[in-house]
Structure 1
Amino acid sequence: MNNRLMWKRTSILAAAAGAALTFAHARPADACGVNGCDGGVPGPMPVNQDGENVLFVLNPGEVEVHIQISIDPDTNAQKFAWLIPIAQIPEFEVGSQPLFDALLQASVPQYGLTQTFEQCGEEGISAGLTSPNGGGTDSGGGSTGDAATTGATGGDPVLLKTTAGAFEIVVLQDKTVAPIKEWLLDNDFLWIDGADETFQQYLDAGQVIVALKLTGGADEGDVHPIVLRYPSDENCFPLRLTRFSSVQDMDIRVFLLANGRAAPTNYRHVLVNPLKIDWLNFAANYKEVIGKAVDELEADGLAFVTEYAGATSITAPFAFNVYSPNWNEAPFAGLAPEQVIERLNEQGLTNCYEPGFCFYNHPLVEGLLREYLPAPDGLSDEEFYGGLASYVDQIDAMKWGDGSGFATGLAERIITPGLHAQDLLDTFPYLTRMYTVISPNEMIADPTFHINPDLEDVDNVRVATNYNLCDGNSVVTLPDEREIFVPDAGPWPEFIGEMFWAEEISQIALKGKPMHLVNNTAAINTKIEAWNTRHGWPRNAASGTAGNDGGGESGCGCASDPAPNGAALLGLTGLGLLALRRRRRA
Structure 2
Amino acid sequence: MRALKLKCAWSRALTLGIGLGAGWTLAMPQTAEACGGVFCDGGLPNSMPVNQDGENVLFVLDQNEVEVHIQISIDPNTNAQKFAWLIPIAQIPEFEVGSQPLFDALLNSSVPTYQVQQTFEVCGESGLSGGFTTGGSGDPGLSSDSNGTGTDGNESAGEDPVLFKTTAGAFEIVVLQDKQIGPIKDWLIDNDYQWIDGSETVLQQYLDEGQVIVALKLAAGSDGGDVHPIVLRYPSNENCFPLRLTRFASIENMDIRVFVLGDKRAAPTNYRHVLVNPLKIDWLSFATNYKEVITKAVDDLEADGLAFVTEFAGASSVVQPFAFNFYSTSWNEAAFIGIPPEQVVQVLNEQGLTQCFDPEFCFYNHPLVESLLNDFLPVPDGLTAEEFYWNLPAYVDQIDAMAWGDGSAFAQALDSRIIAPGEHAQELIDTYPYLTRMYTVISPNEMIADPIFHINPDLPDVASFRSATEYNLCDGNSVVTLPDEREIFVPNGGPWPEFIGEMWWAEEVQQVALKGKPMHLVNNTAAINKKIEEWNLAHGWPRFPDAPTTSASDTDTDSSGSGSSGGPDSATGGGQNDSSGCGCRSDGTPGAGMLALVGLGLLAQRRRRRA
Measured against the shorter chain, the TM-score band is 0.7 to 0.9
Rounded Cα–Cα distance in structure 2 between residues aligned with 1:188 and 1:386: 39
* Partner SS for 1:503: strand
Task: Give the aligned partner of residue 41 of structure 2.
Answer: none
CA contact (8 A) 1:355 1:386 kept: yes
CA contact (8 A) 1:160 1:172 kept: yes
Q: Is 1:101–2:81 an aligned residue pair?
A: no
Task: Give the aligned partner of residue 400 of structure 1.
Answer: 404
Structure 2 residue ranges without an equivalent (≥5): 30-52, 146-155, 548-583, 598-611
CA contact (8 A) 2:265 2:459 kept: yes
Specify whether residues 462 and 335 from structure 1 end up closer, same or farther in structure 2 by C-alpha distance, changes over 3 A only. same
Rounded Cα–Cα distance in structure 2 between residues aligned with 1:54 and 1:267: 17
Aligned length: 515
Specify whether residues 197 and 132 from structure 1 end up closer, same or farther in structure 2 by C-alpha distance, changes over 3 A only. closer
Q: Is 1:48–2:15 an aligned residue pair?
A: no
Task: Give the aligned partner of residue 569 of structure 2.
Answer: none
Deviation at 1:156, TM superposition (A): 1.4
Task: Give the aligned partner of residue 190 of structure 1.
Answer: 194
Identify which of 295, 315, 318 aligns with 1:314: 318
* Partner SS for 1:343: helix
Task: Give the aligned partner of residue 118 of structure 1.
Answer: 121
Letter in 2 for 1:522: A
Deviation at 1:77, TM superposition (A): 1.1
Specify whether residues 129 and 180 from structure 1 end up closer, same or farther in structure 2 by C-alpha distance, changes over 3 A only. closer
CA contact (8 A) 2:69 2:232 kept: yes
After TM superposition, list the pairs within 5 Å mapping 1:233-244 onto structure 2.
233-244=237-248
Letter in 1 for 2:142: G
Identify which of 62, 65, 69 aligns with 2:65: 62
Instruction: Give CA deviations for 1:60-87 in whole Å, capped at 9, x if unaligned.
Output: 0000000001111122111111011111
Identify which of 138, 142, 146 aligns with 1:134: 142
Specify whether residues 519 and 130 from structure 1 end up closer, same or farther in structure 2 by C-alpha distance, changes over 3 A only. closer
Specify whether residues 230 and 316 from structure 1 end up closer, same or farther in structure 2 by C-alpha distance, changes over 3 A only. same
Deviation at 1:132, TM superposition (A): 11
CA contact (8 A) 2:55 2:257 kept: yes
Letter in 1 for 2:372: L
Specify whether residues 387 and 123 from structure 1 end up closer, same or farther in structure 2 by C-alpha distance, changes over 3 A only. farther
Specify whether residues 371 and 259 from structure 1 end up closer, same or farther in structure 2 by C-alpha distance, changes over 3 A only. same
Rounded Cα–Cα distance in structure 1 between residues aligned with 2:585 and 2:525: 29
Instruction: Give CA deviations for 1:405-459 in whole Å, capped at 9, x if unaligned.
Output: 1000000000000000000001100000000000000000000000000001000
* Partner SS for 1:494: coil
Rounded Cα–Cα distance in structure 2 between residues aligned with 1:480 and 1:529: 15
Identify which of 284, 292, 295 aligns with 2:296: 292
Task: Give the aligned partner of residue 90 of structure 2.
Answer: 87
Instruction: Give CA deviations for 1:519-561 in whole Å, capped at 9, x if unaligned.
Output: 0000101111111111111112799xxxxxxxxxxxxxxxx99
Specify whether residues 371 and 502 from structure 1 end up closer, same or farther in structure 2 by C-alpha distance, changes over 3 A only. same
Letter in 2 for 1:445: A
* Partner SS for 2:319: helix
Rounded Cα–Cα distance in structure 2 between residues aligned with 1:106 and 1:194: 39
Task: Give the aligned partner of residue 353 of structure 1.
Answer: 357
Rounded Cα–Cα distance in structure 2 between residues aligned with 1:298 and 1:473: 37
**Structure-2-length-normalised TM-score:** 0.80
CA contact (8 A) 2:16 2:85 kept: yes
* Partner SS for 2:101: helix
After TM superposition, list the pairs within 5 Å mapping 1:356-435 onto structure 2.
356-435=360-439
Task: Give the aligned partner of residue 172 of structure 1.
Answer: 176
* Partner SS for 2:461: coil
Letter in 2 for 1:54: V
CA contact (8 A) 2:8 2:450 kept: no
Task: Give the aligned partner of residue 13 of structure 2.
Answer: 33
CA contact (8 A) 1:239 1:446 kept: yes
Rounded Cα–Cα distance in structure 2 between residues aligned with 1:293 and 1:384: 52
Rounded Cα–Cα distance in structure 2 between residues aligned with 1:404 and 1:31: 37
CA RMSD of aligned residues (A): 2.7
Rounded Cα–Cα distance in structure 2 between residues aligned with 1:454 and 1:438: 28
Rounded Cα–Cα distance in structure 2 between residues aligned with 1:66 and 1:561: 45
Specify whether residues 193 and 491 from structure 1 end up closer, same or farther in structure 2 by C-alpha distance, changes over 3 A only. same
Rounded Cα–Cα distance in structure 1 between residues aligned with 2:585 and 2:176: 71
After TM superposition, list the pairs within 5 Å mapping 1:429-578 onto structure 2.
429-495=433-499, 498-540=502-544, 565=593
Rounded Cα–Cα distance in structure 2 between residues aligned with 1:29 and 1:67: 14
Deviation at 1:192, TM superposition (A): 2.5
Instruction: Give CA deviations for 1:332-370 in whole Å, capped at 9, x if unaligned.
Output: 111110000011001000001122221000000000000
Rounded Cα–Cα distance in structure 1 between residues aligned with 2:507 and 2:375: 53
* Partner SS for 1:36: coil
Rounded Cα–Cα distance in structure 2 between residues aligned with 1:39 and 1:561: 57
Deviation at 1:202, TM superposition (A): 1.7
* Partner SS for 1:481: coil
Letter in 1 for 2:381: D
Rounded Cα–Cα distance in structure 1 between residues aligned with 2:5 and 2:427: 30
CA contact (8 A) 1:166 1:222 kept: yes
Q: Is 1:209–2:189 an aligned residue pair?
A: no
Deviation at 1:39, TM superposition (A): 9.0
Letter in 2 for 1:134: L
Rounded Cα–Cα distance in structure 2 between residues aligned with 1:324 and 1:275: 43
Q: More deviation in 254-263 or 308-317?
A: 308-317
Q: More deviation in 319-328 or 236-245?
A: 319-328
Instruction: Give CA deviations for 1:90-135 in whole Å, capped at 9, x if unaligned.
Output: 1110000010011100000001100111000159999999999834
CA contact (8 A) 2:17 2:79 kept: no
Specify whether residues 307 and 204 from structure 1 end up closer, same or farther in structure 2 by C-alpha distance, changes over 3 A only. same
CA contact (8 A) 1:30 1:202 kept: no
Rounded Cα–Cα distance in structure 1 between residues aligned with 2:187 and 2:215: 11
Deviation at 1:217, TM superposition (A): 1.5
Percent identity, aligned pairs only, is 71
Deviation at 1:291, TM superposition (A): 0.4
After TM superposition, list the pairs within 5 Å mapping 1:216-365 onto structure 2.
216-316=220-320, 319-365=323-369
Instruction: Give CA deviations for 1:187-219 in whole Å, capped at 9, x if unaligned.
Output: 222222211122122222221110000111111
Specify whether residues 484 and 394 from structure 1 end up closer, same or farther in structure 2 by C-alpha distance, changes over 3 A only. same
CA contact (8 A) 2:189 2:195 kept: yes
* Partner SS for 1:518: strand
Q: More deviation in 124-133 or 308-317?
A: 124-133
Structure 1 residue ranges without an equivalent (≥5): 1-23, 138-151, 544-559, 569-586
Deviation at 1:33, TM superposition (A): 2.4
CA contact (8 A) 1:307 1:458 kept: yes
Deviation at 1:48, TM superposition (A): 1.2
Q: More deviation in 244-253 or 199-208?
A: 199-208
Specify whether residues 364 and 298 from structure 1 end up closer, same or farther in structure 2 by C-alpha distance, changes over 3 A only. same
Rounded Cα–Cα distance in structure 2 between residues aligned with 1:219 and 1:192: 22
* Partner SS for 1:392: helix
Specify whether residues 41 and 213 from structure 1 end up closer, same or farther in structure 2 by C-alpha distance, changes over 3 A only. farther
Letter in 1 for 2:23: G
Deviation at 1:25, TM superposition (A): 8.5
CA contact (8 A) 2:7 2:450 kept: no
Specify whether residues 156 and 538 from structure 1 end up closer, same or farther in structure 2 by C-alpha distance, changes over 3 A only. same
Q: More deviation in 258-267 or 25-34?
A: 25-34
**Structure-1-length-normalised TM-score:** 0.83
Letter in 1 for 2:447: M
* Partner SS for 1:98: helix
